[in-house]
Structure 1
């Protein structure tokens, strides 16, 4: 379990993923060396990964939410094949063991079935597929991240740290140059890779690395994400809550759910249930409390459905193997 120093380190990274260890140590009340050592221990355990990823808007990508119902005896191989695909941003097996939930990044004009089944063999193991478009993600950087593990930083510190995070550009970002590939590959493995190490990977000078990073960040081409495994932090029960909300209330309800400490992600989607929220809990009693207090107290919800997560498969650029976040090449 995390102590208060670990919690402060995690929250500082969520606010500013490339924050120097010296600054993290100041926030956590420890030395720079202790902050670095604690971070590396969390990373080695597979609890945490910091990633630098190309903004999908660069390539005009939309995100599609898919639910694939399969024959129970064939769901494992298909789930693993989906999770390995680079266009799959997130995947898990739902309770019951016969449904795969995944988020696909694909151009908006792609046929929905093509977006899901491209490069996969046609198989009788698939019984039913539903694919909906993710319309909007709620919550601003530094506020939407899951903090149920214990947010031990005060609001002013969070504000100051978030101000140190690169601000996204309002206009669509330009695509990276071909020569950026080694730089971006290194950041996809570890978003906190030092300028010195990035210089070694690219063959550039450290000064050129710094200039290029600043350009990619300020344009919104390069984004950083902090991935956590709630299971390692005392929250083994995970669910997707599907909500039906009238359009007049959608923005308000979405923003309200984004402020819930139990919710790492909430987004508006097409389909009968037009809002989905990922919810993490300690146990069934904790989840029941969330449904009967936080969800029940929110006006504008006309109906809901719950899908429990049976086994995590992938988060962003990380596969989940043996309960650890790992780069795809290591799976």
Structure 2
């Protein structure tokens, strides 16, 4: 993976703060020519280095760790990645071959776990870890080279990272179609959305803003951490005392190294996705950081390949 220039990293960082920011706004914040920013930003999007996609939250997210028969893990990973309800699908080291997050409704959870997943070729065992709440999701991961002032200029009123979607809104046909459009292209213009859905541009703008403000739909700028100089990615399975769970989760969410932090059920209380520059940085983060004092056990799985992130299949090189 090629090393990105500073301006490219800044543009990606700007999109992580505000995925729908105009090139004019980004150029003004970066103090760069608008034409240059528009050209470089468009190249990043068209090449797939960065993608802006919407993802629909669901009231019953669950992590599934699967083990496969020898030689079948690629098939199983691809089958999971092709599912519309998976947000990420990772090939990992450790006791399982793959970890995926499935976003579904409560009434479908039994069918997914009991009927659909066991039908995947090569699968031999599934561990399930329902998500109780999020401390941090990919939308809040913003490692790029922007100052606090630049981030504030891009989004003066930050959207709250949702802990969980407790109430599931019933959407009308128009909202469903707008959500579908933004899941395909999070930067689709209001004019294009209006033409696709068959409503006025004002309606498209108003309904899009409602979907985002209510957190029914999240927009995320998706980029491989390695492109930002963070090639080592690991999943931390953490055990802690119940009284320490909330504080530990919040502290982990504040760390710039974490991309995702969730409270889960099962043998572990927290799962955290961490990206760092090298193994030494991972060792330091898991042994000498202040948060480790509240962890009774940390099990590390290295991420080997991300077949799907934020609902987007891995771009073809």
Give the TM-score normalised by the residue count of structure 1.
0.84
Check whether the contact 2:253–2:260 (CA below 8 A) recurs between aligned residues. yes
- Listed one character per residue, the Cα deviations across residues 112-171 of structure 1 (whole Å, up to 9, x for unaligned) are 5x32354456367322211011111114897x3141xxx432223323433355568998
Check whether the contact 1:5–1:29 (CA below 8 A) recurs between aligned residues. no
Range with bigger deviation, 200-209 or 68-77: 200-209
Corresponding position: 1:318 with 2:316: no
Corresponding position: 1:145 with 2:141: yes
In structure 1, distance between residues paired with 2:56 and 2:126: 28
* Count of residue correspondences: 313
Corresponding position: 1:136 with 2:100: no
The 3 A distance-change label for structure 1 pair 176 and 39 is farther
In structure 2, distance between residues paired with 1:96 and 1:244: 16
In structure 1, distance between residues paired with 2:51 and 2:120: 34
The 3 A distance-change label for structure 1 pair 162 and 247 is farther
Corresponding position: 1:299 with 2:293: yes
Aligned CA RMSD, in angstroms, stands at 2.7
* 1:50-129 equivalence runs, <5 A: 50-56=52-58, 61-95=59-93, 99-108=97-106, 110=108, 114-116=111-113, 118-119=115-116, 122=119, 125-129=122-126
In structure 2, distance between residues paired with 1:302 and 1:20: 46
In structure 2, distance between residues paired with 1:138 and 1:109: 25
Per the alignment, residue 45 of structure 2 pairs with 43
In structure 2, distance between residues paired with 1:168 and 1:308: 26
Find the partner of 2:252 among 251, 257, 262: 257
Check whether the contact 1:87–1:104 (CA below 8 A) recurs between aligned residues. yes
Range with bigger deviation, 245-254 or 209-218: 209-218
Corresponding position: 1:154 with 2:154: no
- Listed one character per residue, the Cα deviations across residues 243-298 of structure 1 (whole Å, up to 9, x for unaligned) are 1111111111111111222111111111121111111122323322322332x663
Provide the secondary structure at the position in 2 that maps to 1:264.
strand
Any stretches of 5+ residues in structure 1 without a counterpart? 324-331
In structure 1, distance between residues paired with 2:209 and 2:256: 32
* 1:150-299 equivalence runs, <5 A: 151-164=144-157, 172=167, 174-294=169-289, 298-299=292-293
Check whether the contact 2:138–2:220 (CA below 8 A) recurs between aligned residues. no
Q: CA deviation at 1:18?
A: 1.2
In structure 2, distance between residues paired with 1:162 and 1:108: 34
Q: CA deviation at 1:208?
A: 2.6
In structure 2, distance between residues paired with 1:32 and 1:78: 44
Check whether the contact 1:89–1:103 (CA below 8 A) recurs between aligned residues. yes
Give the TM-score normalised by the residue count of structure 2.
0.87
Range with bigger deviation, 157-166 or 98-107: 157-166
The 3 A distance-change label for structure 1 pair 322 and 140 is closer
Any stretches of 5+ residues in structure 2 without a counterpart? none
Check whether the contact 1:65–1:132 (CA below 8 A) recurs between aligned residues. yes
